Every structure is written in structure tokens, then in C-alpha cells.
Structure 1
Amino acid sequence: MSDGVPTIKDVADRVGVHAGTASRALNPATRGKVSARTVSRVLEAARVLGYSPNSAARSLRTRTSSVAGVIIPDLRNPVFPPIVRGVEDGLREAGYLALLGNTDGDPERARELLAAMRGQRTDGFILATSRRDDTFSAGMPTVLVNRRADSGSVPSVTADNAAGVQAIVRLLTDLGHTHIGHVAGPQTLSTGWERYRAFVAAADAPAKRIAFADAFSEDAGHAATLRLLDAGPDLTAIVAGNDLIALGCYAALASRGLRVPEDVSVTGFNDIPFVDRQRPALTTVRIPHYDIGLEAARLLMARIGDPAAPAKRIVLPVELVSRASTARRREDRP
């Protein structure tokens, strides 16, 4: 190693391949020309040796920056930090850095961030801010994370929202609940829309048992739950669009003198940190946060390598986590 700094030749020698092969394995744009086993060995050797490609030199050769823009709607929402961690690790294994931006749910701020990141010669984007009707520039590699667009023209990585809601409704039905309500998330976002549609299909509930929250937040969940209770005071269970909305349900029910789960069972979605420490602990659907981010990063690398490939949609499995916020319907208890 020259001056103690590892080179591409050092990486190649450690694996037992030509330096050109090692270089192709480390470059997302040419990685497909090398066997998966060799790529894995080269990446591991680079990690062990602490080898980092000369980004400036590579940028001059390939006209790329080795930087990907990552834009999320709200860093305060606990669902996003572990997703971002997965994104960062996925980008790092490809020799990329993440340029992170937070929009606070403001579409204009999202547009400003996109423009600014393009000005930094960003190679592509991972977006958690997209709405269902968003359109995207065909000239910029883009992957949606925890969101998807109705057009299906942009690669995406999401959790299986439909399967999660179906599992929740099945649990509540098995507990004897027949008057089940839903506090849905914003319908402009695929997560809100898919979970709402899955609830309608699984529960066959009338319109009065559904209220729409303006945001995936505790305050919005509180306001929507009050409207739901006014329209359907006979509810014995509520399926919330996500965990933050579910916490808003807790507060709204308490303000009406109703207890969870003695009077009304409540469920969430996402299994964000600390919902297991709520009183009562929240029944929810666990999504693979980290893996969603990791797969999004890998999908972006593939998109950068082959921008003309068909848009791929990855849907990762979820897991129902039953806790103390759900119980058998009062009339069915011994």
C-alpha cells in the first residue's frame, strides 16, 4: 500500500483478480459485468482494507458524482430514521454518499430541495415524499421509498400494506368485533390509500365508520377520531392508518371517557420505537424499516446502471404484533 493508503490493486490482489475486474465490481454502472460472487468478495476486501475510490477522479471519468439525494417528509416521524439508515448503508456498499433533505411535508420545499440537489450533480434520488399523482423527470434516476406513484413508472420499495391491514381486521374479527372503524391516513399518499382500500375490502364497513386524517400525525389522528366517534358511537375497535394516528386515537378516546382496550380496541401500523411502551402497548403491524431503505438504495444503483430498464416494484412482507391495546369485545368476555 502506497503511503499506507490502499489502492485498487491492493483490493484486487487480496481477492486474486485483475485490477480492472475489481474496478468494475466497485462501480455500480459496470458491476453487472462481474459475477455476483466476485462482486461480494471485492466489496468485502475494500471494506476490510478501508479502500475508497477517488471520487473526484471517477467523477471526471464517468461524469457522475457518487452522491444520491435522499428526501424525506419529516425527520420527527420515527418511521423514517431506520429507513434512512438502510438507505445510507446500501449506498455506502456501492461507494455512494447520501445527501439528505427534509421537507416538513411541504411540497414547495420538496421542489426546492430537488432543484438544489440537481445543482450538486447528484446522480439520482430516493424519495419518501412522493404523492400518488406525482410525475418525474425521465432523465433522472429515481426510486420511491415507502411510497409509490399510481403510474407505476418509477421503481419503488414498500411494505405490504394490504396484507398488514388484512391481518389486523382478521385479528379483531377473531376477537368478536363487528363494529370496526378506520382512521385513514392522507389519501394523496400511497400508504394512506392502500391501507384504506385494504380496510374497505376486509371489513366491508359503511362510510360512517371511516374518517380521514389530514396527516400521519398524532394531532390529525386525534381530530379524525373525534369525528369518527361522533358518526359511529357504537364502535368497539379502531384500525388506525399508522402508529402516530393510533396515539391520537388513544387521546381522543380518553377525552370521551373511553378506555383502551376495555371499551375500544385500537391498532396501528409500522411498529415505530416505543409503541410497545405505551399504556396500553399498541397492537400494530411491523414493517421492515431498515430493509426498505437498503433495497431502495440497491434499486437506485441498478437504475443508475441501466436507466432504461423497466420500473421494478418491490413489496416486502410485514408482521402482525399483537399487544395489550386489543382485547375481546366486551359482550363476549366471560
Structure 2
Amino acid sequence: MDRAPTIKDVAERAGVHAATASRALNPATRGMVNTRTANRVLEAARTLGYAPNSAARSLRTRTSSVAGVIIPDLRNPVFPPIVRGIEDELREAGYMALVGNTDGDPERERELVTAMRGRQTDGFILATSRRGDSVRTEGGVPVPTVLVNRRTDAGDIPSVTADNAAGVHVLVRHLAGLGHTRIGHVAGPRELSTGWERYRAFLDATTSLGLNPGGEPVEFAEAFTEAAGHAAAARLFAAHPDLTAVLAGNDLLALGCYSALADLGRSVPSDVSVTGFNDMPFVDRQRPALTTVRIPHYDIGREAARLLLERIGSPAAPAKRVVLPVELVSRDSTGPVAS
């Protein structure tokens, strides 16, 4: 073929009408086509080397094949693999990601959403939402949105998270198995679902095992950062000097616990055992290497992108909550209670 293949060429090779081929090639409408037919169209497009004219399709369908991805802090090691998973899944569907960073500022988030909508972004994947947020709309029409590593109390926005409760329970059982009965918690921000869910799971787990008699030693950090973890841990140990273990709401908070304990002249784990959550790339190289819970960051990103593509194709469908499994990674920061 001396010319560039057209949608009509793809349709003829797949044995379908051109309109069917067009729907199969557009991720936003692919769900309207039988799976076997859609796969036949996609294979025909690959064989012919067909490349859709995204600018023309944008004018025709009022879609851009661009998804906005808004992250609170790209310096946080949790988010790069999540964003990579999002980008890989979107690229395979003919979409691209437009990534913005808010530095945890709600006003900056609103500015980014407005700016991206002005560029005809088809939908959003947000890692910034707070527990009280609800369905986002523009002109009264819901904007296709998926939450990643976050979810709302109302559950009215599709979300993909790790199994926070299961992760906390396995950490508490691990510490209890080492003989710890006084376990503190440096919790993440209570307005974020990750912080709140892990805090609630900590209460459930310690209560069910009969730990922490006489009250729950908990301090909330202002952010999921090492500095905030240090400040919260200092308050925690000032109020509860008898603690023999501390479960931090994420790995950065756990590193803050390390430094707070060092300030007190106490060592990890001989004086106090410390656990994190997330298994960030560097925590196995800390001294001592951090016991934590591994979450599938990349898979969380891919699943969030899949949900968004579904949402763009079916905006009125019920909101899905996807929860991915986690696993304990036991390292050197936890040990038996000192005699």
C-alpha cells in the first residue's frame, strides 16, 4: 500500500463496518463492541500499521485521549511507580497522561484541574483527594475521575488502593508474635484515607489481640513525611515512654521514628521495634533495614488507568472499589522485646 492506511482499510481487513472499526479503535467506546470483534479490528490496525488521527478524532468526538494525573508530591517514592503504571496502561489504549504535582496544596489542585479541563482532558486520576470529597462535576456533569491510593468515605468515586487493613493487621500480629504488648502508632494525616484506614485498622488489630491495656498510644502526623514522623514520634514517646514497638503509617514516617528514637538515645530494634508501610525502594538499605508491608505500586497505577478508561466509556456506571493484596516484608528493624 503506497498510501497511509485509513479507517476504511482497517474495517475492510477486519470484515466490519467503518463505524464499528472506529468504535473499536477508540478506548472510550471500545466497550460498545463485542470483545472478539474489537480484537479483530485491533489486530487489523496493527497489521496495516494504522495510526489514528488523534486531532481529527478530538474534533469529531470532543475527546482528547489525554488523562490528567494529579499527585501530591512526586518526591515521595510511592508515586513514581504508580505514575509509570498509569502511563503504561494509558499508552496501550492510545491515551497519554498529563501529570501535575500539587505539593499537597488544595488550591494548587483546583488550579491544575481547571487548567487540564481547559485542554479537553477526558478524565482524571487523583492521588490527592481527601476523605470528605465527593463526585466532581463541571457544569453539573460528572467528570470521569478515579482515585489512586486514596478513596472517599462516601465511596462515590472509583478507587484503587492497597489492602491497608490487612497490612496493618499482619504488622500487629508480627509484633505481637515477638512479644510486644505495648505498641504505639505514628499515624498518617487523618483527613487522608490512607492515614485514617491504617489508624482504624491499628485500633482493631490491637484490641482484638488484647494489646495496649489502658489506652491506645497514637499520634497523628501532619503529613506523610520523615520530618512529620519525627515530630509525631517525639510526642508519642514523651507521652508513652514504656512503648517497646511503634507501627508507622508509612515508610517515611518510620524513618522519622528512627531519628526521634536516636535523639532519645534509644536504638532500633534492641530498645524499640519499628515498622513502616509501602516498602519504598530505599528502605531495605536503611540501618537497620525496615520491616514493612509491600504494596503493588505499579499494579495500582495500571488498575487505576483501566478504571478511568471504563469510566470514560460508561460515565454513569456504579463506582468500583478495587483493593489489591499486600505482603509482610520482615527485616532487621523488628525483634523480640528486650528482657
Structure 1 residue matching 2:142: 3-state secondary structure: coil
Write out aligned runs for 1:257-296 (5 A): 257-296=265-304
Shift of 1:151: 1.1
Shift of 1:56: 0.8
Shift of 1:26: 2.0
Write out aligned runs for 1:100-115 (5 A): 100-115=99-114
Gaps of 5+ in 2: none
Instruction: State the Cα deviation string for residues 184-221 of structure 1 (Å, max 9, x = none).
Output: 00000000000000000001345551111000000000
Report how many residues are paired: 329
- d(CA) in 2 for partners of 1:194 and 1:145? 15
Q: 2:315 matched to which residue of 1? A: 307
Q: 1:86 matched to which residue of 2? A: 85
- d(CA) in 1 for partners of 2:184 and 2:54? 53
Q: 1:160 matched to which residue of 2? A: 163
Question: What's the RMSD between the two structures over aligned residues?
Answer: 2.0
Instruction: State the Cα deviation string for residues 282-326 of structure 1 (Å, max 9, x = none).
Output: 111111101111111110111111111111111111111111111
Shift of 1:22: 3.9
Instruction: State the Cα deviation string for residues 153-192 of structure 1 (Å, max 9, x = none).
Output: 1111111000000000011111111011100000000000
Shift of 1:50: 5.8
Q: 1:174 matched to which residue of 2? A: 177
Shift of 1:94: 1.5
Which amino acid in the other structure matches residue 116 of structure 2?
Answer: M
Instruction: Call closer, same or farther: CA 1:243–1:22 in 2, change over 3 Å.
Output: same
Write out aligned runs for 1:126-205 (5 A): 126-135=125-134, 136-137=136-137, 138-204=141-207, 205=212
Q: 2:331 matched to which residue of 1? A: 323
Of 256-265 and 46-55, more deviation after overlay is shown by 46-55
Q: Is the 8 A contact 2:163 2:324 kept in 1?
A: yes
Shift of 1:6: 5.3
Q: Is the 8 A contact 1:208 1:228 kept in 2?
A: no
Q: TM-score by structure 1 length?
A: 0.93
Q: TM-score by structure 2 length?
A: 0.91
Shift of 1:7: 4.5
Structure 1 residue matching 2:335: 3-state secondary structure: coil
Structure 2 residue matching 1:325: 3-state secondary structure: coil
Q: Is the 8 A contact 2:203 2:216 kept in 1?
A: no
Identity across aligned pairs (percent)? 74
Instruction: State the Cα deviation string for residues 261-295 of structure 1 (Å, max 9, x = none).
Output: 11111110111111111111111111110111111
Of 320-329 and 180-189, more deviation after overlay is shown by 320-329
Which 4+ residue blocks in structure 1 deviate beyond 6 angstroms?
Answer: none
Shift of 1:27: 1.2
